Amino acid sequence: MLEITHLTKRYGSHVANDDISLRVQTGRIFGLLGPNGAGKTTLIRMITGITLPDAGTISLGGDSTIDSRRERIGYLPEERGLYKKMTVAKQLQYFAGLKGLDAKTAEQRINYWLERMDASGWGEKKIQELSKGMQQKVQFISTILHQPSLLILDEPFSGLDPVNADVLIGVTRELQTAGTTIILSTHQMDQVERLCDDIALINRGRVVLSGEVAEVRSRFDSDRLRIRCAGATKPLESIAGTSVISSFGSTIELRRDASTSVRQILEQANALAEIIEFSVIQPSLHEIFVRTVTGSSGGTEA
């Protein structure tokens, strides 16, 4: 769906994006991750045609023209932009018109999405009368009315309570099932874990890690272990080369030192208690994010 090749963008002496190459596959949810100032927003602005690269190419479905990309992309920016004194219905009709929808089609889609987003009856409310979360849902609807083939969501869950975040997650999944390709940029790693098929981590303007989520996680050694035993876990707290993360009932979680192997811990555990379950806990995306950005050991950068 989207192919980015050797993309570079400079602002004076500052290199915001440095030779970035990425491929986003059709119908998948792609997580664009990175710390503040890493270059994510600059990259998104070039994909959407807001700014132009100094070098490199961007192709959407094989077409590299900016006008074509703009027509096929739906973009929810981190900085929201709604007209506060307009009603929800007029706001959405205006945005639909900008994307070339006729009045009848726009009305049908607006009514559908207001109902789907648990926002029926909001049409005559002014934007300034809505909570931040409600405004967020209106802006999301405005982003998808023209049925974009590529949807870019920048911090879409900001300001949403858990219930409305789940509504948005459900809609995002529905759009993916219908064939929409989605780029998700967020700092909420739990949402990335739930939604994304692939990820790319950008740091200091460069791609430092990319691939399918499961494959990326498999590259990183885990230092966390979970042990469930018959009886109390107290004897397991004395295993050499480990420290206790948590202990509850018959289950204990340990962090092993880099100099201690999993086999050594298992042998000690067997000598101390009757082991029912022994497992290595795969690192979370949050842990991988922190390790990669801070340069910690334990994984292979891509």
Domain that holds residue 11: 2-217
* Per-residue model confidence (pLDDT) at position 29: 96
29 and 12 in a common domain? yes
Last residue of a domain, one of 217, 249, 270: 217
* Per-residue model confidence (pLDDT) at position 301: 38
213 and 251 in a common domain? no
117 and 68 in a common domain? yes
Give domain status of residue 80, yes or no. yes
Q: Dump pLDDT digits (tens) for 57-66.
A: 999 988 888 8
CB 140 within 8 A of CB 156: yes
Q: Dump pLDDT digits (tens) for 139-189.
A: 999 999 999 999 999 989 887 888 888 999 999 999 999 999 999 998 888
| Chain position carrying tokens 């929201």 | 80
CB 34 within 8 A of CB 17: no
Give domain status of residue 287, yes or no. no
| CATH value at residue 40 | 3.40.50.300
Give domain status of residue 291, yes or no. no
44 and 175 in a common domain? yes
- The span from the CA of 84 to the CA of 91, in Å, is 9
229 and 159 in a common domain? no
Give domain status of residue 296, yes or no. no
CB 98 within 8 A of CB 71: no
Domain count within the chain: 2
Give domain status of residue 23, yes or no. yes
Q: Dump pLDDT digits (tens) for 7-33.
A: 999 999 999 999 999 999 999 999 999
Whether 207 has a pLDDT exceeding 80, the answer reads: yes
| CATH value at residue 231 | 3.30.70
- The span from the CA of 69 to the CA of 242, in Å, is 53
273 and 155 in a common domain? no
246 and 166 in a common domain? no
Q: Model pTM?
A: 0.82
85 and 13 in a common domain? yes
Give domain status of residue 50, yes or no. yes
